[in-house]
Amino acid sequence: MLIDSKRPFFLTLTFLIVCLVGIVVYQQYKKIAEKNQVVIYTGAGPVKINVEYAETPEKRISGLMNRSALSKFSGMLFIFPDEKMREFWMKDTLIPLEIIFIGTKGNINEITSVKPCTPDVLNCPIYTSKELARFAIEVNVGFSEQNRIVEGDILEISGF
């Protein structure tokens, strides 16, 4: 009989521990999810983009190579150590993209559409920013127009 009286206590304790662990895991997930999201503040309101970070030379070189698709509100954020003219080469890029160039203070200074490269790598054009850029985001072609993103809008990077 003594064992049965302790069962509700252990069930309640187990339930509380599971709830506490669930809350902690959710909080950590939320922090990670926010870190992988940028916001562009437009005249029409904020636009959230889920991004992969390209902060190392290796990741910046590979970029979105060999991707057959990109989700609607997704992209790749290129983080450079300094602000200067940037060059992008679309080698092995299979989908048409837009590159949003951003200065150190977060101002969007250029949006340009880029085409996938043909199999003849020698004919792949190099796309150079017209102004200094510290960041760049590659998104699906047409993304900026669909979301009313224009030059002068502001980028916010959480957790960076």
| Residue where the block lists tokens 């060999």 | 66
| CATH fold for the domain made of 38-157 | Jelly Rolls (2.60.120)
| Contact between residue 98 and residue 114 where contact means Cβ atoms under 8 Å apart | yes
Exposed/middle/buried for 76, CB within 10 Å: 0-12, 13-18, 19+? buried
| pLDDT tens readout for residues 39-78 | 999 999 999 999 999 888 888 888 888 888 999 999 999 9
**pLDDT mean over 137-151:** 97
| Residue where the block lists tokens 């709830």 | 19
| pLDDT tens readout for residues 9-25 | 777 777 777 777 666 55
What does the domain layout of the chain look like in residue ranges? Answer: 1-35, 38-157
Length of the chain: 160
pTM confidence score: 0.75
| pLDDT tens readout for residues 76-96 | 999 999 999 999 988 888 899
